[in-house]
Amino acid sequence: MSEPQLKIILEAALLAAESPLSLDHLQALFADAGAPERASLREALAELARDYEGRAMELVEVGSGWRIQVREQYAGWVSRLWEERPGRYSRALLETLAIIAYRQPVTRGEIEEIRGVSVSTSIMRTLQDRGWVRTVGHRDVPGRPAMYGTSRQFLDYFNLRSLDQLPTLMELRDLDKVHPELDLRFPEEDSAPGVPEAADE
């Protein structure tokens, strides 16, 4: 067997390794006889680093040795790989959102009064992170509680021109009969990106 190039052997090891490889470690790959000098290793590593110019990966030296990694400029693309599947919102969250939409401006205390149970901080945070709910002021009572209202993104998401398009509380009794023109589907249903999942899983 003709000996492969030193840098290609190093490439194989670095690509397969689960953690950075030190020069000692790389040298140990060549077992007993014929382990290359550290200088040659360094040279080969430098060559490898040059090979990766213009590519998605780079060879870097970190604390415990050398490793191949994806260049940071592609982090955004890689992040998309790891998008988590959307979960579902809890009943409590949906109720809270609906109450804010209909009763805004409304404080957390008022929401709790209507729902009959307390509203968790995480629900309020989720709704605000999503951009659907924002603080619109503070009620002038002890503790100055925040008052919440819905945002333009809320209308956009549900494909509403204004809140008036929502059925009245009266009409809510019979959801199926009201507002047939309302778009009651999942807003993103059509454009939901194909979930890249094996069909058989």
Distance CA 105, CA 136 (A): 7
Q: Please report how close the Cβ of residue 110 comes to its own copies at its closest, in angstroms.
A: 21
Angle at 164 between CA 162 and CA 165, to 5 degrees: 80
- The reply on whether position 70 binds another protein by CB under 8 A is yes
Of the candidate spans 39-47, 63-71, 122-130, 137-145, the one that interacts with its own copies by CB under 8 A turns out to be 63-71
- Hey, what amino acid is at 78? V
- Cα separation of the two ends of the chain: 43
Instruction: Give 37 or 201: the residue with its C-beta nearer to another protein.
Output: 201
> Is residue 28 part of the contact set for another protein (CB under 8 A)?
no
Single residue of 34, 73, 84, 141 touching its own copies by CB under 8 A: 73
- Residue 116's CB is within 10 A of a number of other CB atoms, namely 6
- Residue whose CB is less far from its own copies, 54 or 142: 54
Does 53 interact with its own copies (rule: CB under 8 A)? no
How far apart CA 149 and CA 106 sit, in angstroms, is 7
Rounded to a whole number of angstroms, the minimum distance from the CB of residue 116 to its own copies is 31
C-alpha 105/C-alpha 138 separation (Å) is 9
Secondary structure of residue 27 in the 3-state scheme? helix
Residue entry with tokens 């929502």:
166
Task: Please report how close the Cβ of residue 43 comes to another protein at its closest, in angstroms.
Answer: 22
- Please report, as a single letter, which amino acid is at residue 126: T
Binders in 77-106 for its own copies, by CB under 8 A: 77-78, 80-81
Number of residues that bind its own copies (CB under 8 A): 43
* CB-CB neighbours of 21 under 10 Å: 22
In whole angstroms, what is the distance from residue 104 CA to residue 43 CA? Answer: 68
Site for another protein, residues 116 to 175, rule: CB under 8 A: 116-118, 130, 134, 136-140, 147, 149-150, 156-160, 162-164, 166-173, 175
Binding site for its own copies (CB under 8 A): 4, 8-9, 11-13, 15-17, 21-22, 24-25, 27-29, 31-32, 54-57, 64, 68, 70-71, 73-74, 77-78, 80-81, 134, 151-152, 191, 193-196, 198, 200-201
